[in-house]
Structure 1
Amino acid sequence: MLVLFDIDGTLLETGGAGTRALNRAFERLFSISDAFRGIKMAGKTDLQIIKEALSLHGIDGSNGNLQRIMDMYVSLLKEEINNPRKKLKPGVREILDIMIDSRLGTGLLTGNLRKGAEIKLGAFGLNSYFIDGAFGSDHEDRNQLLPIALERFRQKGFKVGPENSIIIGDTPRDVECAKVHGARCIAVATGPYSIDELRQTEADLVVETLEDKEKILDFIF
């Protein structure tokens, strides 16, 4: 069994660190302030978000600008993550401890760039919980990330496919990412979507928080 976690809104809140780092990167490189105003970010990959901003502001991303933005963002995120508003979501450490004790394949399926994911998780000492995963730096389309994660786990000796994989996330995009490949999904209402909104998706299980351990574990096992 493979359990793949989203990060933002599911495991933690950065206190706005990601958005601030992106805005600072655009301002520093292109002298554009508040560049991401009006861009909806929930459930999207960082690559998709950055490309939308480049397009919005008429900036060519094919001449190295995309990589420059990503590199600058990661550098600034290291500064921005050190803020008092960041916090873990309820029940996170407890559920991750159970995943490890149960010897499940525990990984990530996140829109974050890999380096960005490591910075965010590292701020809470969570990196060691996750074996591998798929990231927003692998593909801009979130729906393409599950096959990437599965291949990485297979290379590590796990016998996994969509049929024995579960994605845990906080947006309808997490649900869609699972369902398009025939995987299961647990939607958790700790992000921008209410539990009623998530119940209108095709999620196999919807919970208020990761503190709902009994429901989650009954579903997984």
Structure 2
Amino acid sequence: MRQQVGLARQDWRGGQRGGVRQVVSAQPVPDEDGQLLERHRDDLSRTGQVMPGAPAALAAVQQESGLVPTVVTGNLPGSAEIKLKALGLDGYLDLSIGGYASDNSHRPALVHVAQERAGRRHRHAFTRDTTVIIGDSLEDVRTGREGGADVIGVASGTTSAEALGAAGARYVLADLTDTQCLLRLINACVQGGRPMGGVQS
């Protein structure tokens, strides 16, 4: 199962810049029943796969002044939390402002859900100009483009760099191992944006 993880960056002069990225890939585990998923937590810890560089990328984003990482996913909230916790990534994220399948079955709509939640929490408007999705699939690119965000693709092996670019990703990385490059690209995506809010998808 894949989840998108995102962030919002608050510029301490009153504005915000944002970025969102998909960094988790785990073995499929039924998520309709939270108890069933809970029973498979150990399996997920053993067999789940984290994209190369994801923990360091999330840590860098979390430590960057003003960034507020969250998640946007086609999973239910409880399932997303269990998966992220099993993979050791939950501590980097504010899951309360994410967008989930229970909010809307149309994944691009979850971008706006997360933008609104982050906006209420941080009292800033999050817009297309200040929102960046980072993902490794054509669905992630579609989610960002249709949902109201710029997109950074990650050619993790599931989708080629060429396909991600052709689908509309503004930038494409081979992986997430160069955290400084990732932060530079997030900032490049939002430099032309107004000095107000962005969130993930």
Q: TM-score interval w.r.t. the shorter chain?
A: 0.7 to 0.9
1:209 aligns with 2:172: no
* Per-residue CA distance 1:126-176 (angstroms, 9 max, x = gap): 222112210122111101111100110011024222210111111112112
Could you tell me whether the CA contact under 8 Å between 1:198 and 1:206 is conserved in 2? yes
- Flag as ranges the 4+ runs of structure 1 deviating above 3 A: none
Instruction: Determine the C-alpha separation between the residues in 1 that align with 2:170 and 2:88.
Output: 30
3-state SS in 1 of match to 2:47? coil
> Which structure 2 segments of 5+ residues have no match?
1-16, 188-201
Q: Any unmatched runs of 5+ in structure 1?
A: 23-69
Deviation at 1:183, TM superposition (A): 1.6
1:39-78 to structure 2, matched below 5 A, reads 70=32, 72=33, 74-78=34-38
SS of the residue corresponding to residue 112 of structure 1 reads coil
If each structure's strand is expressed as a fraction of its own residues, which one has the higher value?
Answer: 2
Instruction: Measure the CA separation in 1 of the matches of 2:183 and 2:98.
Output: 21
Cα separation, 2, equivalents of 1:97 and 1:211 = 12
Give the C-alpha shift of residue 202 in structure 1. Answer: 0.4
Aligned match of 2:58:
96
TM-score by length of 2: 0.74
Alignment partner, residue 102 of structure 2: 137
**Aligned residue number for residue 194 of structure 2:** none
Q: Does 1:111 align with 2:71?
A: no
2:173 and 2:123 map into 1 onto residues whose CA distance is 28
Q: Percent identity at matched positions?
A: 28
Equivalent residues, number: 165
**Greater RCO between the two (CA within 8 Å, min separation 6)?**
2
TM-score normalised to structure 1 length = 0.68
Q: Which has the larger radius of gyration?
A: 1
What is the RMSD of the two structures over their aligned residues, measured on CA atoms?
1.8
Paired residues of 1:95 and 1:210 also in contact (CA < 8 A): yes
Q: Give me the whole-angstrom Cα distance separating, in 2, the residues matched to 1:147 and 1:109.
A: 10
Map of 1:123 onto structure 2: 86
**Matched position secondary structure for 2:134:** strand
Separation of aligned partners in 2, 1:158 and 1:93 = 28
Label 1:183 to 1:12 Cα distance change in 2 as closer, same or farther (>3 A): closer
Helix, strand or coil: the match of 2:176?
Answer: coil
Tell me, what secondary structure is at the counterpart of 2:169? Answer: coil
In 2: Cα distance, 1:78 partner to 1:142 partner = 24
Alpha-carbon distance in 2 for matches of 1:176, 1:119: 26
Alignment of 1:1-12 (within 5 A): 1-6=17-22, 11-12=23-24
- How far apart are 1:80 and its partner, in Å? 2.4
Q: Secondary structure at the match of 2:80?
A: helix
Whole-Å separation in 2 of the counterparts to 1:140 and 1:182: 16
1: CA distance, partners of 2:88 / 2:103: 23
Query: Residue 133 of structure 2: which of 139, 142, 167 is its match?
Result: 167
Classify the secondary structure of the residue corresponding to 2:42: coil
Q: Retained in 2: the 8 A contact 1:17–1:81?
A: no
